[in-house]
Amino acid sequence: MKVCKFGGTSMSDASSIIRSANIVKSDPMRKFVIVSAPGKVNGEEKITDMLINCYETVKKGASCKTVFSKVENRFNNIIKDLGLDIDLTEKFAKILLNIDNGASKDYAASRGEYLMAIVFAKVLGYEFVDAQDIIKFFPDKTFDSEYTNDYVSKVLNEMKNTGVVVPGFYGRTPDGAICTFSRGGSDVTGSIIARAIKADLYENWTDVNGFMMCDPRIVQNPAKINVLTYKELRELSYMGATVLHPESIFPVRRADIPINIKNTFEPENSGTMIVPSKDYVGQNGRIITGIAGKKDFTAIFIEKSMMNGELGFARKALSVLEHYDVSIEHMPTGIDTLSLVIESCNLEGKLDHVLARLQAILNPDHIEVLEHLSMIATVGHGMSKRKGTAAKLFGALYQAGINIKMIDQGSSELNIIVGVDNSDFEKAIEAIYNAFVK
Protein backbone atom coordinates (compact mmCIF):
# COMPACT_ATOMS: atom_id res chain seq x y z
CA MET A 1 0.00 0.00 0.00
CA LYS A 2 1.05 3.56 -0.65
CA VAL A 3 0.10 6.60 1.39
CA CYS A 4 0.00 9.79 -0.69
CA LYS A 5 0.04 13.26 0.78
CA PHE A 6 -0.75 16.18 -1.52
CA GLY A 7 0.45 19.66 -0.53
CA GLY A 8 -1.32 22.99 -0.97
CA THR A 9 -0.07 23.67 -4.51
CA SER A 10 -1.39 20.27 -5.63
CA MET A 11 -4.84 21.31 -4.33
CA SER A 12 -4.76 25.00 -5.27
CA ASP A 13 -7.27 24.95 -8.16
CA ALA A 14 -9.33 22.58 -10.31
CA SER A 15 -6.55 21.77 -12.77
CA SER A 16 -4.03 20.87 -10.03
CA ILE A 17 -6.71 18.80 -8.30
CA ILE A 18 -7.40 16.88 -11.51
CA ARG A 19 -3.66 16.24 -11.92
CA SER A 20 -3.51 14.94 -8.35
CA ALA A 21 -6.57 12.76 -8.87
CA ASN A 22 -5.03 11.26 -12.02
CA ILE A 23 -1.90 10.42 -10.04
CA VAL A 24 -3.96 8.60 -7.40
CA LYS A 25 -6.00 6.74 -9.98
CA SER A 26 -2.97 5.65 -11.99
CA ASP A 27 -1.86 3.24 -9.25
CA PRO A 28 -4.23 0.88 -7.40
CA MET A 29 -1.82 0.90 -4.43
CA ARG A 30 -2.71 4.55 -3.75
CA LYS A 31 -5.64 4.01 -1.43
CA PHE A 32 -4.75 6.33 1.46
CA VAL A 33 -4.68 10.03 0.65
CA ILE A 34 -3.94 13.01 2.90
CA VAL A 35 -4.50 16.58 1.74
CA SER A 36 -3.41 20.07 2.66
CA ALA A 37 -5.68 23.08 2.28
CA PRO A 38 -5.57 24.83 -1.12
CA GLY A 39 -2.38 26.86 -1.46
CA LYS A 40 -1.65 30.20 -3.12
CA VAL A 41 -3.07 30.85 -6.56
CA ASN A 42 -3.27 33.94 -8.82
CA GLY A 43 -1.92 36.23 -6.14
CA GLU A 44 -4.48 34.96 -3.60
CA GLU A 45 -3.08 33.79 -0.29
CA LYS A 46 -3.24 30.25 1.11
CA ILE A 47 -6.60 29.19 2.51
CA THR A 48 -4.93 28.49 5.87
CA ASP A 49 -3.70 32.09 6.03
CA MET A 50 -7.18 33.38 5.17
CA LEU A 51 -8.64 31.28 7.98
CA ILE A 52 -6.07 32.48 10.49
CA ASN A 53 -6.99 35.98 9.35
CA CYS A 54 -10.64 35.17 10.16
CA TYR A 55 -9.62 34.20 13.69
CA GLU A 56 -7.52 37.39 14.12
CA THR A 57 -10.42 39.53 12.87
CA VAL A 58 -12.79 38.07 15.45
CA LYS A 59 -10.16 38.54 18.14
CA LYS A 60 -10.14 42.25 17.33
CA GLY A 61 -13.88 42.34 17.97
CA ALA A 62 -15.32 42.23 14.42
CA SER A 63 -17.14 39.53 12.48
CA CYS A 64 -15.01 37.57 10.01
CA LYS A 65 -17.86 37.32 7.49
CA THR A 66 -16.07 39.33 4.77
CA VAL A 67 -12.72 37.52 5.09
CA PHE A 68 -14.47 34.16 5.29
CA SER A 69 -16.37 34.87 2.07
CA LYS A 70 -13.00 34.63 0.26
CA VAL A 71 -12.60 31.10 1.61
CA GLU A 72 -16.11 30.23 0.44
CA ASN A 73 -15.44 31.67 -3.01
CA ARG A 74 -12.24 29.66 -3.45
CA PHE A 75 -13.98 26.41 -2.60
CA ASN A 76 -17.09 27.24 -4.61
CA ASN A 77 -14.95 28.02 -7.67
CA ILE A 78 -13.07 24.75 -7.27
CA ILE A 79 -16.34 22.81 -6.98
CA LYS A 80 -17.84 24.59 -9.99
CA ASP A 81 -14.71 24.13 -12.17
CA LEU A 82 -14.60 20.45 -11.28
CA GLY A 83 -18.30 20.09 -12.03
CA LEU A 84 -18.87 18.36 -8.69
CA ASP A 85 -22.29 17.65 -7.29
CA ILE A 86 -21.59 18.84 -3.77
CA ASP A 87 -22.84 21.75 -1.69
CA LEU A 88 -20.79 23.06 1.22
CA THR A 89 -23.19 25.91 2.17
CA GLU A 90 -24.19 24.38 5.50
CA LYS A 91 -20.62 23.56 6.43
CA PHE A 92 -19.50 27.13 5.59
CA ALA A 93 -22.28 28.58 7.75
CA LYS A 94 -21.34 26.40 10.70
CA ILE A 95 -17.63 27.24 10.45
CA LEU A 96 -18.36 30.98 10.14
CA LEU A 97 -20.62 30.85 13.16
CA ASN A 98 -18.07 28.95 15.22
CA ILE A 99 -15.23 31.34 14.38
CA ASP A 100 -17.42 34.39 14.97
CA ASN A 101 -18.38 32.88 18.33
CA GLY A 102 -14.74 32.68 19.39
CA ALA A 103 -13.54 29.24 18.24
CA SER A 104 -9.81 28.65 18.70
CA LYS A 105 -7.06 29.54 16.24
CA ASP A 106 -6.37 25.82 15.71
CA TYR A 107 -10.01 25.22 14.84
CA ALA A 108 -10.03 28.08 12.32
CA ALA A 109 -6.68 27.09 10.76
CA SER A 110 -7.73 23.45 10.35
CA ARG A 111 -10.92 24.07 8.36
CA GLY A 112 -9.11 24.36 5.00
CA GLU A 113 -7.86 20.78 5.22
CA TYR A 114 -11.27 19.62 6.47
CA LEU A 115 -13.15 21.11 3.49
CA MET A 116 -10.49 20.11 0.98
CA ALA A 117 -10.58 16.47 2.08
CA ILE A 118 -14.38 16.40 1.63
CA VAL A 119 -13.99 17.77 -1.90
CA PHE A 120 -11.12 15.47 -2.87
CA ALA A 121 -12.90 12.40 -1.49
CA LYS A 122 -15.79 13.26 -3.80
CA VAL A 123 -13.43 13.67 -6.78
CA LEU A 124 -11.84 10.27 -6.15
CA GLY A 125 -14.95 8.43 -5.03
CA TYR A 126 -13.08 7.57 -1.80
CA GLU A 127 -14.42 7.77 1.73
CA PHE A 128 -13.81 10.89 3.84
CA VAL A 129 -12.43 10.18 7.32
CA ASP A 130 -12.15 13.21 9.58
CA ALA A 131 -8.72 13.57 11.18
CA GLN A 132 -10.34 14.63 14.45
CA ASP A 133 -11.79 11.12 14.80
CA ILE A 134 -8.45 9.33 14.45
CA ILE A 135 -5.53 11.66 15.31
CA LYS A 136 -5.31 12.22 19.06
CA PHE A 137 -3.44 14.81 21.10
CA PHE A 138 -2.82 14.88 24.87
CA PRO A 139 -4.53 17.64 26.90
CA ASP A 140 -1.26 19.64 26.76
CA LYS A 141 -1.52 19.55 22.94
CA THR A 142 1.42 17.22 22.40
CA PHE A 143 0.76 14.42 19.96
CA ASP A 144 -0.36 11.06 21.41
CA SER A 145 1.56 8.85 19.02
CA GLU A 146 0.92 5.38 20.43
CA TYR A 147 -2.81 5.73 20.99
CA THR A 148 -3.17 7.25 17.53
CA ASN A 149 -1.10 4.54 15.92
CA ASP A 150 -3.25 1.74 17.39
CA TYR A 151 -6.45 3.55 16.63
CA VAL A 152 -5.61 4.56 13.07
CA SER A 153 -4.43 1.09 12.22
CA LYS A 154 -7.71 -0.41 13.48
CA VAL A 155 -9.93 2.07 11.65
CA LEU A 156 -8.09 2.45 8.37
CA ASN A 157 -6.87 -1.08 7.80
CA GLU A 158 -10.48 -2.08 7.24
CA MET A 159 -10.85 0.50 4.50
CA LYS A 160 -8.03 -0.69 2.24
CA ASN A 161 -10.39 -1.56 -0.56
CA THR A 162 -12.60 1.49 -0.32
CA GLY A 163 -9.95 4.21 -0.48
CA VAL A 164 -9.79 7.00 2.10
CA VAL A 165 -9.10 10.73 2.12
CA VAL A 166 -8.00 12.24 5.46
CA PRO A 167 -7.44 15.96 6.07
CA GLY A 168 -3.87 16.68 7.16
CA PHE A 169 -2.59 19.03 9.84
CA TYR A 170 -4.96 18.45 12.78
CA GLY A 171 -6.51 16.10 15.31
CA ARG A 172 -8.31 16.42 18.61
CA THR A 173 -7.55 16.57 22.34
CA PRO A 174 -9.55 14.37 24.78
CA ASP A 175 -11.94 17.25 25.57
CA GLY A 176 -12.90 17.44 21.90
CA ALA A 177 -10.95 20.58 20.97
CA ILE A 178 -9.30 20.70 17.54
CA CYS A 179 -5.53 20.83 17.76
CA THR A 180 -3.08 21.37 14.89
CA PHE A 181 0.54 20.45 14.30
CA SER A 182 2.83 23.37 13.45
CA ARG A 183 2.56 24.92 9.98
CA GLY A 184 3.13 22.46 7.16
CA GLY A 185 1.93 19.68 9.48
CA SER A 186 -0.04 17.70 6.89
CA ASP A 187 3.31 16.04 6.14
CA VAL A 188 3.22 14.72 9.71
CA THR A 189 -0.32 13.37 9.31
CA GLY A 190 0.76 11.50 6.17
CA SER A 191 3.65 9.94 8.01
CA ILE A 192 1.46 8.90 10.97
CA ILE A 193 -0.98 7.17 8.65
CA ALA A 194 1.81 5.48 6.67
CA ARG A 195 3.18 4.01 9.91
CA ALA A 196 -0.23 2.91 11.16
CA ILE A 197 -1.24 1.05 8.03
CA LYS A 198 2.31 -0.32 7.56
CA ALA A 199 2.56 1.24 4.11
CA ASP A 200 5.26 0.12 1.69
CA LEU A 201 5.88 3.73 0.72
CA TYR A 202 4.93 7.24 1.86
CA GLU A 203 4.63 9.46 -1.21
CA ASN A 204 4.77 13.18 -0.50
CA TRP A 205 3.49 15.06 -3.55
CA THR A 206 4.64 18.65 -3.79
CA ASP A 207 5.64 21.21 -6.45
CA VAL A 208 9.38 20.48 -6.69
CA ASN A 209 11.33 17.45 -7.91
CA GLY A 210 12.64 16.67 -4.43
CA PHE A 211 15.56 17.89 -2.37
CA MET A 212 18.26 19.82 -4.17
CA MET A 213 21.85 19.56 -2.97
CA CYS A 214 21.65 23.17 -1.82
CA ASP A 215 19.36 26.16 -1.95
CA PRO A 216 18.62 27.04 -5.63
CA ARG A 217 18.46 30.71 -4.63
CA ILE A 218 22.19 30.45 -3.90
CA VAL A 219 23.46 28.03 -6.55
CA GLN A 220 21.69 27.99 -9.90
CA ASN A 221 20.21 24.63 -10.83
CA PRO A 222 21.86 22.55 -8.14
CA ALA A 223 21.91 18.79 -8.61
CA LYS A 224 18.96 16.86 -7.20
CA ILE A 225 19.47 14.48 -4.29
CA ASN A 226 18.20 11.14 -5.57
CA VAL A 227 18.42 9.28 -2.32
CA LEU A 228 19.19 10.27 1.25
CA THR A 229 18.78 8.70 4.66
CA TYR A 230 16.49 9.81 7.47
CA LYS A 231 19.56 10.93 9.40
CA GLU A 232 20.89 13.03 6.54
CA LEU A 233 17.47 14.55 6.11
CA ARG A 234 17.35 15.48 9.80
CA GLU A 235 20.66 17.28 9.48
CA LEU A 236 19.70 19.08 6.30
CA SER A 237 16.22 20.13 7.33
CA TYR A 238 17.36 21.19 10.77
CA MET A 239 19.87 23.45 9.05
CA GLY A 240 17.29 25.07 6.82
CA ALA A 241 16.36 22.76 3.91
CA THR A 242 12.57 23.01 3.78
CA VAL A 243 10.75 20.57 1.56
CA LEU A 244 9.28 18.39 4.27
CA HIS A 245 8.07 19.18 7.80
CA PRO A 246 11.04 18.19 10.02
CA GLU A 247 8.85 16.10 12.35
CA SER A 248 7.37 14.07 9.56
CA ILE A 249 10.20 11.58 9.46
CA PHE A 250 9.69 10.25 13.00
CA PRO A 251 6.58 8.06 12.50
CA VAL A 252 7.77 6.43 9.25
CA ARG A 253 11.28 5.98 10.59
CA ARG A 254 9.91 3.79 13.37
CA ALA A 255 8.53 1.42 10.77
CA ASP A 256 11.39 1.72 8.25
CA ILE A 257 9.02 3.08 5.59
CA PRO A 258 10.74 5.07 2.84
CA ILE A 259 9.45 8.50 1.82
CA ASN A 260 9.37 9.52 -1.82
CA ILE A 261 9.18 13.27 -2.50
CA LYS A 262 7.43 13.67 -5.86
CA ASN A 263 6.37 16.55 -8.07
CA THR A 264 2.66 16.65 -8.96
CA PHE A 265 3.51 18.77 -11.98
CA GLU A 266 6.23 16.38 -13.24
CA PRO A 267 5.11 12.96 -11.99
CA GLU A 268 7.51 11.03 -14.23
CA ASN A 269 10.48 12.51 -12.35
CA SER A 270 11.77 9.99 -9.79
CA GLY A 271 11.99 12.69 -7.08
CA THR A 272 13.96 12.11 -3.89
CA MET A 273 13.86 8.86 -1.91
CA ILE A 274 14.40 9.05 1.85
CA VAL A 275 15.43 5.68 3.23
CA PRO A 276 16.68 4.02 6.43
CA SER A 277 20.49 3.95 6.71
CA LYS A 278 20.53 0.20 6.07
CA ASP A 279 18.99 0.72 2.63
CA TYR A 280 21.37 3.51 1.63
CA VAL A 281 22.96 2.91 -1.76
CA GLY A 282 25.22 5.95 -2.06
CA GLN A 283 25.11 9.04 -4.19
CA ASN A 284 26.38 7.79 -7.55
CA GLY A 285 29.96 8.38 -6.49
CA ARG A 286 29.30 11.76 -4.88
CA ILE A 287 30.98 12.22 -1.52
CA ILE A 288 28.47 14.61 -0.04
CA THR A 289 24.69 14.51 -0.07
CA GLY A 290 23.79 18.13 0.52
CA ILE A 291 24.69 21.49 1.98
CA ALA A 292 22.37 23.59 4.13
CA GLY A 293 22.85 26.51 6.44
CA LYS A 294 21.30 29.21 8.54
CA LYS A 295 22.28 32.77 9.28
CA ASP A 296 22.26 34.77 12.51
CA PHE A 297 23.91 32.79 15.26
CA THR A 298 25.81 34.15 18.23
CA ALA A 299 28.83 32.35 19.67
CA ILE A 300 29.97 32.84 23.24
CA PHE A 301 33.61 31.75 23.64
CA ILE A 302 34.63 30.95 27.20
CA GLU A 303 38.28 30.50 28.06
CA LYS A 304 39.70 29.24 31.35
CA SER A 305 43.04 27.58 32.04
CA MET A 306 42.71 24.01 33.27
CA MET A 307 39.02 24.01 32.33
CA ASN A 308 39.29 20.35 31.42
CA GLY A 309 40.12 19.45 35.01
CA GLU A 310 37.31 21.47 36.56
CA LEU A 311 34.52 19.07 37.34
CA GLY A 312 31.07 20.26 36.22
CA PHE A 313 32.34 23.22 34.15
CA ALA A 314 30.21 22.46 31.08
CA ARG A 315 27.20 21.63 33.24
CA LYS A 316 27.46 24.97 34.99
CA ALA A 317 27.74 26.83 31.67
CA LEU A 318 24.69 25.02 30.31
CA SER A 319 22.71 25.62 33.50
CA VAL A 320 23.04 29.35 32.87
CA LEU A 321 21.42 28.96 29.46
CA GLU A 322 18.73 26.76 30.95
CA HIS A 323 18.05 29.37 33.62
CA TYR A 324 17.36 31.96 30.93
CA ASP A 325 15.39 29.51 28.79
CA VAL A 326 17.91 29.69 25.94
CA SER A 327 18.48 26.56 23.87
CA ILE A 328 21.88 25.81 22.44
CA GLU A 329 22.60 24.60 18.91
CA HIS A 330 26.30 23.61 18.97
CA MET A 331 29.01 23.35 21.58
CA PRO A 332 32.51 22.97 20.13
CA THR A 333 35.17 22.59 22.82
CA GLY A 334 38.95 22.88 23.10
CA ILE A 335 41.29 22.02 25.97
CA ASP A 336 40.79 25.31 27.75
CA THR A 337 37.90 26.71 25.73
CA LEU A 338 34.19 26.10 25.44
CA SER A 339 31.98 27.74 22.81
CA LEU A 340 28.23 28.05 23.04
CA VAL A 341 26.57 28.61 19.69
CA ILE A 342 23.03 29.94 19.94
CA GLU A 343 20.49 31.26 17.46
CA SER A 344 20.66 35.03 17.95
CA CYS A 345 16.88 35.41 18.16
CA ASN A 346 16.91 33.24 21.32
CA LEU A 347 19.26 35.68 23.04
CA GLU A 348 17.26 38.80 22.31
CA GLY A 349 17.15 40.96 25.45
CA LYS A 350 19.00 38.23 27.37
CA LEU A 351 22.61 38.37 26.17
CA ASP A 352 23.88 40.76 28.87
CA HIS A 353 22.22 38.75 31.63
CA VAL A 354 23.61 35.49 30.28
CA LEU A 355 27.13 36.92 30.08
CA ALA A 356 26.98 38.38 33.59
CA ARG A 357 25.82 35.07 35.04
CA LEU A 358 28.41 33.03 33.12
CA GLN A 359 31.07 35.40 34.47
CA ALA A 360 29.81 35.04 38.04
CA ILE A 361 29.36 31.27 38.01
CA LEU A 362 32.36 30.17 35.93
CA ASN A 363 34.91 32.83 36.80
CA PRO A 364 36.58 32.43 33.38
CA ASP A 365 39.84 34.05 32.20
CA HIS A 366 38.10 35.51 29.19
CA ILE A 367 34.68 35.64 27.53
CA GLU A 368 34.17 36.84 24.00
CA VAL A 369 31.02 37.19 21.94
CA LEU A 370 30.86 36.78 18.20
CA GLU A 371 27.66 37.83 16.45
CA HIS A 372 26.34 37.66 12.86
CA LEU A 373 27.59 34.14 12.43
CA SER A 374 26.24 31.72 9.81
CA MET A 375 26.44 27.99 10.34
CA ILE A 376 26.78 25.81 7.24
CA ALA A 377 26.43 22.03 7.38
CA THR A 378 27.92 19.80 4.72
CA VAL A 379 26.14 16.48 5.10
CA GLY A 380 26.65 12.98 3.77
CA HIS A 381 27.16 9.37 4.83
CA GLY A 382 29.70 9.22 2.02
CA MET A 383 32.05 11.51 3.97
CA SER A 384 32.78 9.00 6.70
CA LYS A 385 35.88 6.89 6.32
CA ARG A 386 36.84 8.92 3.24
CA LYS A 387 40.19 10.63 3.24
CA GLY A 388 40.52 14.22 2.12
CA THR A 389 36.90 15.36 2.58
CA ALA A 390 37.77 17.97 5.18
CA ALA A 391 40.80 19.08 3.20
CA LYS A 392 38.64 19.61 0.14
CA LEU A 393 36.02 21.55 2.08
CA PHE A 394 38.42 23.82 3.92
CA GLY A 395 40.54 24.24 0.78
CA ALA A 396 37.47 25.43 -1.13
CA LEU A 397 36.67 28.00 1.53
CA TYR A 398 40.29 29.16 1.60
CA GLN A 399 40.34 29.51 -2.21
CA ALA A 400 37.17 31.61 -2.01
CA GLY A 401 38.84 33.89 0.53
CA ILE A 402 36.47 32.95 3.34
CA ASN A 403 37.55 33.07 6.94
CA ILE A 404 36.28 30.06 8.92
CA LYS A 405 35.36 31.21 12.42
CA MET A 406 34.38 27.87 13.84
CA ILE A 407 34.38 24.15 13.02
CA ASP A 408 32.17 21.45 14.51
CA GLN A 409 32.00 17.85 13.35
CA GLY A 410 29.32 15.52 14.64
CA SER A 411 30.71 12.30 16.10
CA SER A 412 28.82 10.29 13.49
CA GLU A 413 31.02 11.75 10.73
CA LEU A 414 27.78 12.57 8.98
CA ASN A 415 28.45 16.27 8.81
CA ILE A 416 31.02 19.01 9.03
CA ILE A 417 29.66 22.32 10.24
CA VAL A 418 31.54 25.55 9.70
CA GLY A 419 30.78 28.99 11.09
CA VAL A 420 31.44 31.96 8.80
CA ASP A 421 30.45 35.60 8.86
CA ASN A 422 26.87 36.26 7.64
CA SER A 423 28.29 38.25 4.74
CA ASP A 424 30.16 35.13 3.50
CA PHE A 425 27.15 32.78 3.77
CA GLU A 426 26.14 32.48 0.11
CA LYS A 427 29.74 32.56 -1.16
CA ALA A 428 30.70 29.73 1.21
CA ILE A 429 27.82 27.46 0.11
CA GLU A 430 28.68 28.07 -3.52
CA ALA A 431 32.36 27.31 -2.91
CA ILE A 432 31.60 24.03 -1.13
CA TYR A 433 29.11 22.99 -3.81
CA ASN A 434 31.54 23.70 -6.62
CA ALA A 435 34.33 21.81 -4.87
CA PHE A 436 32.29 18.63 -4.44
CA VAL A 437 29.90 18.63 -7.36
CA LYS A 438 31.33 20.42 -10.37
Interface with ligand ASP by CB under 6 A: which range of 133-141, 179-187, 190-198, 405-413? 179-187
Dist. CA 187–CA 208, nearest whole Å: 15
Interface with ligand ASP by CB under 6 A: which range of 77-85, 125-133, 184-192, 419-427? 184-192
Q: How far is the CB of 17 from ligand ASP (least distance, A)?
A: 15
- Of the two residues 46 and 295, which places its CB atom closer to ligand ASP in the complex? 46
Q: Is 293 in the site for ligand ASP (CB under 6 A)?
A: no
Q: How far is the CB of 348 from ligand ASP (least distance, A)?
A: 25
Q: Is 9 in the site for ligand ASP (CB under 6 A)?
A: no
Residues in the chain: 438
Q: Is 40 in the site for ligand ASP (CB under 6 A)?
A: no
Q: Is 190 in the site for ligand ASP (CB under 6 A)?
A: no
List beta partners, residue 34: 5, 166
Q: Is 251 in the site for ligand ASP (CB under 6 A)?
A: no
Q: What are phi and psi of 169, to 5 degrees?
A: 85, -25
**The one among 163, 167, 168, 271 contacting ligand ASP by CB under 6 A:** 168
Burial of 401 (0-12, 13-18, 19+ CB in 10 A): exposed
Interface with ligand ASP by CB under 6 A: which range of 178-186, 286-294, 328-336, 408-416? 178-186
> What are the C-alpha distances in Å from 300 to residues 75, 318, 329?
51, 12, 12
Q: Is 48 in the site for ligand ASP (CB under 6 A)?
A: yes
Q: Is 36 in the site for ligand ASP (CB under 6 A)?
A: yes
- Of the two residues 170 and 297, which places its CB atom closer to ligand ASP in the complex? 170
Q: How far is the CB of 36 from ligand ASP (least distance, A)?
A: 3
**The one among 6, 8, 16, 289 contacting ligand ASP by CB under 6 A:** 8
Q: How far is the CB of 105 from ligand ASP (least distance, A)?
A: 12
Which spans of this chain sit near ligand ASP (rule: CB under 6 A)? Answer: 8, 36-37, 46, 48, 112, 168-169, 183-186
